[in-house]
Amino acid sequence: MHPTQGRVHFTHQCQRMQLTVKLFAYFRDNRFKQQCLDFPEGTTVEDIIRALGVPLAEVGVTMINSRPCELDQVPAEGDQVAIFPAIGGG
């Protein structure tokens, strides 16, 4: 173990988590509809958005497992994360 800046880093598999990421509307352009992706544990929804190159200012709604979530929420292994731009209708 190598303590670094007060944090402990492990080197085995449980350091990462598998998430299903779903994108919608024009966020799909040049990206994807749905993909299983690997992220470090502790990754927030905002981190995922930035990692995908989605403009944070354009994000309207985010959900984890069909429930609304804040940008600073941390998904768990196997979660479905959905990211929508600002949309509306009737």
Give the binding site for another protein (CB under 8 A): 22, 24-26, 28, 33, 58, 60-61, 63, 66-68, 82, 84-90
- Closer by beta carbon to another protein, 17 or else 23: 23
Strand duo 59-64 + 67-68: pairing: antiparallel
Nearest-approach distance from CB 84 to another protein, in angstroms = 6
Nearest-approach distance from CB 57 to another protein, in angstroms = 9
- Closer by beta carbon to another protein, 33 or else 50: 33
Unique residue bearing structure tokens 């492990």: 10
Q: Which residues of 14-46 are buried (b: 16+ CB within 10 A; e: fewer)?
A: eeebebebbbeeebeeeeeeeeeeebeeebbbe
- Closer by beta carbon to another protein, 8 or else 72: 72
Nearest-approach distance from CB 28 to another protein, in angstroms = 7
- How far apart are alpha carbons 46 and 56 in whole angstroms? 8
